[in-house]
Structure 1
Amino acid sequence: MADHHLPGDPPVPLTLRRSARARRISLRISGLDGRVTLTLPTRVPDREALAFAREKESWIRSHLAGRPEAVAVTFGAVLPIDGQPRRIVAGPGRRILLQDGALMVPDLRSDAGPGRRIQRYLQELARDRLAEASDRYSAALGRPYSRITLRDTRSRWGSCSSEGALMYSWRLILAPPEVLRYVAAHEVAHLQEMNHSQAFWDLVQGLYGNYDGARGWLRSEGNHLHRFRF
């Protein structure tokens, strides 16, 4: 890959990626982080890809302008936890406390900020909630899983391997609880149906109930969970 910029105010970073399978230049803007990637055939020079980007500049900038701004997770910021907005405020002691409308975080002057500590706290909270939901659905299904892993994934909210290992995005703790539970039911259902057939969706329905609302929330709002920078 090669990195370039589309000049202007502000300049737009461009990532050039070569692919032996590409037959023409293509442009993609990530829905998660706004990264602009140009994929081009192996023998096409960089200048042609950059000229292509300049032709599409107005479209690129209008698309980026419509994206929600990144939010730095620090004191004073508002962070959704369980789908509810919580303002990050300084609190006493050494433990992070979750309250209605607030996340109380000890203000340790010795570190660079609360972001990493809040991330660790959220990961622990997400593991507890996802393990609880996975245990419930796994017991209802009568199929055990082998382990749970949490990651900060960008392309999926969860997965289930053929060995029964469940993986979830810890950012699900930022979503409403019913959305987190839906993802758990979805992945546990894969313990029996390793596909997305009608039988699979019937199984999800049996475990979780009507999933249209939770699935729709992820499609319309899920990408916004990635704008929080820890």
Structure 2
Amino acid sequence: MSITRIPGDPPLEVTLRRSARARRYSLRVSQLDGRVTLTLPQRAPEADGLAFVREKEAWIRRHLSARPEDQVVRAGGSVPYEGRALPLVPGTGRAPRLQDGALAVPGPASEVPARVQAFLKTRARARLAAAADGYTAALGLSYRRLTLRDARSRWGSCSSRGDLMFAWRLIMAPPKVLDYVAAHEVAHLVEMNHSPAFWAVVARLMPGYEAPRAWLRANGAALHRVRFGD
């Protein structure tokens, strides 16, 4: 993959991606982060692909302008945490801490975004590990390891070896949403599919999972629009 810039106001950054399965040029504007991707057939001339992008420039800009704005985390602002906006206030000490309904973040303003992100990742790991431990104990099972990622395409996964992966941004969602994703992935330790038997395991672990699942489908993209720094 490579990235090219199309002049304009503002300039457009376009990621070029070749695919052996592609038979024509195709454009995609991600609603998660605004990334513009051009997929080209394996042997198609790059110049022709860029000409295609220029033809579609007005279409690309319309889609980008219709996309909701990102939320940039800054000192004095707020960050989503467990389903609510958590104000960011100056703090003391070595690490951010919850204090009087806000997150007190020490250090200069330039370091606030990184420190808030680190705080969220730490909380996410603790909450997801606790949820996964509880659900596996209920099934009489165990998992091999748990990892966190900033995944764009999925909120969690479970490998055939028993490895669980979760998106750390789940800590921004209401607690029941995080619990649902943990239950969903732990259920895959029993059923590595999405059959009725699988959903029966999810329902056993978390009755009423349908509501948090619907919340994630409706609001999950907004969690990806939270950015830590300009």
Assess same fold via TM > 0.5.
yes
The CA distance in 2 between the partners of 1:117 and 1:78, in whole Å, is 13
- Could you say what secondary structure the match of 2:164 adopts? strand
Residues 74, 115 of structure 1: 8 Å contact kept: yes
The CA distance in 1 between the partners of 2:11 and 2:95, in whole Å, is 42
The CA distance in 1 between the partners of 2:18 and 2:144, in whole Å, is 39
What is the match of residue 67 of structure 1? 67
Residues 95, 115 of structure 2: 8 Å contact kept: no
The CA distance in 1 between the partners of 2:124 and 2:3, in whole Å, is 35
Q: Which amino acid is 1:81 matched to?
A: Y
Q: Quick check: 1:216 aligned with 2:211?
A: no
Offset at residue 80 of structure 1 (A)? 0.8
- Structure 1 unaligned blocks of 5 or more: none
Q: Which amino acid is 1:36 matched to?
A: V
TM-score, normalising length: structure 2: 0.92
CA RMSD of aligned residues (A): 1.7
Q: Which amino acid is 2:10 matched to?
A: P
Offset at residue 92 of structure 1 (A)? 2.9
What is the match of residue 181 of structure 1? 179
- Structure 2 unaligned blocks of 5 or more: none
What is the match of residue 121 of structure 1? 119
1:82-93 map, 5 Å: 82-93=82-93
Residues 74, 113 of structure 1: 8 Å contact kept: no
Residues 81, 171 of structure 2: 8 Å contact kept: yes
Q: Quick check: 1:3 aligned with 2:6?
A: no
Q: Which amino acid is 2:83 matched to?
A: G
Residues 86, 100 of structure 1: 8 Å contact kept: no
Residues 91, 105 of structure 1: 8 Å contact kept: yes
CA deviations over 1:47-99 (Å, ceiling 9, x no partner): 32222222322221121112222333221121010011011110233332224
- Could you say what secondary structure the match of 1:122 adopts? helix
- Could you say what secondary structure the match of 1:5 adopts? strand
What is the match of residue 37 of structure 1? 37
Which segment is superposed worse, 191-200 or 73-82? Answer: 73-82
Which segment is superposed worse, 120-129 or 2-11? Answer: 2-11
What is the match of residue 159 of structure 1? 157
Question: What is the percentage of aligned positions where both structures have the same residue?
Answer: 60
TM-score, normalising length: structure 1: 0.92
The CA distance in 1 between the partners of 2:38 and 2:95, in whole Å, is 45
Residues 84, 101 of structure 1: 8 Å contact kept: no
Residues 126, 172 of structure 1: 8 Å contact kept: yes
The CA distance in 1 between the partners of 2:156 and 2:81, in whole Å, is 18
Offset at residue 100 of structure 1 (A)? 5.2
The CA distance in 1 between the partners of 2:101 and 2:68, in whole Å, is 22
Q: Which amino acid is 2:29 matched to?
A: I
Q: Which amino acid is 1:210 matched to?
A: G
- Could you say what secondary structure the match of 2:94 adopts? coil
Offset at residue 101 of structure 1 (A)? 4.0
Offset at residue 6 of structure 1 (A)? 3.0
CA deviations over 1:200-226 (Å, ceiling 9, x no partner): 011111111122221122112112112
The CA distance in 2 between the partners of 1:39 and 1:123, in whole Å, is 33
